[in-house]
Amino acid sequence: MLDTVSKSFFHALAASGTLKSLASRYGMRRSTSFARRFIAGETLDEAVTACREIQTRGLLLTLDQLGESVTSLDEAAAATRNYLGIVERIIAAGIERNVSLKLTQLGLDLDRAATVDNLRRILDVAQRGDFFVRIDMENSPYVDATLDAFETVWKLGYHNVGVVLQSCLHRSAQDLERVNALGARVRLVKGAYKEPRAVAYQHKHEVDEAFARLMQTLLTAGRYPALATHDVRMIDATKAFAAERGIPQDAYEFQMLYGIRRDLQAALVEAGYRMRVYVPFGTEWFPYFMRRLGERPANVGFVLKGILTDRGA
Ligand SMILES: Cc1cc2nc3c(=O)[nH]c(=O)nc-3n(C[C@H](O)[C@H](O)[C@H](O)COP(=O)(O)OP(=O)(O)OC[C@H]3O[C@@H](n4cnc5c(N)ncnc54)[C@H](O)[C@@H]3O)c2cc1C
């Protein structure tokens, strides 16, 4: 119950313009500022530097330019061009060719056909450069449109792309059947958004049980699945299930977010598992940052400390 309350609280705070402008002023301005724990930088250069450091630790990565719903098709086209620039920069920098994006950045709220066109523009260039593109999953009103757009590009022959399913949603077992039938890659997460009772489990133990069930289906019937969680119990359950079924360590991967449980990330690499870090960057970091606070209210302590230290400095 507490987890539901704190999520709602932080989602309400995320809508506050005052808080956003305060956080934006202080969150990233120094190398020690509080939001830097979760955000790799505001510029692509900073993100590339962070990626190089991640790779030297034996970790895999996926780069994400932060940003959510755009309000015009011109903005969606600009976000698309931006991603094309990121792809080129990744090639020039020689870092791993893997990006994540959100379809509302490409216009999903405005025009589904235009969104698919924008996505295809990115996938064309990415395919030529041997990239993998992960479509993040947003909150429940977008799930149908996201899966439909994904299936459309998949059936057009773009297979360098995968989706995300959220164990908190009642529908995800069915969605997993649909994606498995295509033979496409899934990243399994618990779900970062505050969702209504009608569509989502409200208790952590239910979300965790669903995660464990979906993990088992993915490992037995999925294609190179990604288990994206910082939850040691879910990670241990995955390792145990894979070992019991004789599924090799390179047949799946773990994923975690930049700045979260670096100790666990290192331990998995050390034990021979494939471990990918999701590296977010950009100036539009506030909603992402607030979701991270909502997941673990203890994070608020270090943020407040950071604000006070930064203002005093
Ligand atoms: C690579 C990756 C990609 C993701 N993509 C999506 C997506 O496309 N759509 C989506 O809805 N969600 C996405 N998420 C977020 C996900 O849905 C969860 O909100 C998030 O991972 C927290 O859940 P958990 O599985 O870590 O488990 P929890 O039960 O929330 O946490 C387990 C433990 O992990 C640690 N932990 C978790 N979160 C934090 C935090 N913010 N700060 C510090 N410690 C923390 C704590 O020790 C906690 O006890 C993604 C997560 C990852 C790792």
Model confidence over 217-268: pLDDT tens digits?
Answer: 999 999 999 999 999 999 999 999 999 999 999 999 999 999 999 999 999 9
pLDDT at residue 210 in the model: 98
pLDDT at residue 309 in the model: 59
Looking at the chain, how many residues does it have? 313
CA of 106 to the centre of ligand 1 (A): 24
Give the containing element (helix H, strand E) for 239: helix 232-245
| Confidence band, pLDDT 50/70/90 cuts, at residue 313 | very low
Q: Is the CB of 164 under 6 A from ligand 1?
A: yes
Residue 134 pairs in a beta bridge with 100, 162
Ligand 1 test: best mutation among 137, 143, 147, 230, most atoms within 8 Å of CB?
A: 230
Burial class (CB in 10 A: 0-12, 13-18, 19+), 71: exposed
Q: Please determine, for residue 93, whether its predicted confidence score (pLDDT) is greater than 70.
A: yes
Q: How large is the C-alpha radius of gyration of the chain? A: 19
DSSP assignments along 133-176, one per residue: EEE----GGGHHHHHHHHHHHHHTT--SEEEEEETTBTTHHHHH
Pairing, β 132-135 against β 60-65: unpaired
Distance CA 139, CA 68 (A): 11
Q: Please determine, for residue 135, whether its predicted confidence score (pLDDT) is greater than 80.
A: yes
| Confidence band, pLDDT 50/70/90 cuts, at residue 302 | low
CA of 168 to the centre of ligand 1 (A): 12
pLDDT at residue 4 in the model: 57
Instruction: Calculate the alpha carbon distances from 148 to 81, 102, 144, 152 in Å.
Output: 23, 14, 6, 6
Q: Are 212 and 237 in contact (CB under 8 A)?
A: yes
Q: Please determine, for residue 130, whether its predicted confidence score (pLDDT) is greater than 60.
A: yes
Number of separate helices (H) and strands (E) present in the chain: 12, 8
Residue of 97, 134, 185, 187 with catalytic role? 187
Is residue 223 annotated as part of the catalytic site, yes or no?
Answer: no
| Confidence band, pLDDT 50/70/90 cuts, at residue 69 | confident
Distance CA 38, CA 278 (A): 10
Is residue 310 annotated as part of the catalytic site, yes or no?
Answer: no
pLDDT at residue 2 in the model: 45
Q: Average pLDDT for residues 182-191, to the nearest whole number?
A: 98
pLDDT at residue 48 in the model: 98
Nearest to 229 by CA among 267, 266, 195, 260: 260
Q: Is the CB of 296 under 6 A from ligand 1?
A: yes
| Confidence band, pLDDT 50/70/90 cuts, at residue 26 | confident
Q: Is the CB of 253 under 6 A from ligand 1?
A: no
Q: Please determine, for residue 304, whether its predicted confidence score (pLDDT) is greater than 80.
A: no
Residues of the chain with pLDDT > 70: what percent? 91
pLDDT at residue 138 in the model: 96
Q: H helices of 30-111, where?
A: 44-56, 73-93
Q: Are 266 and 57 in contact (CB under 8 A)?
A: yes
| Confidence band, pLDDT 50/70/90 cuts, at residue 6 | low
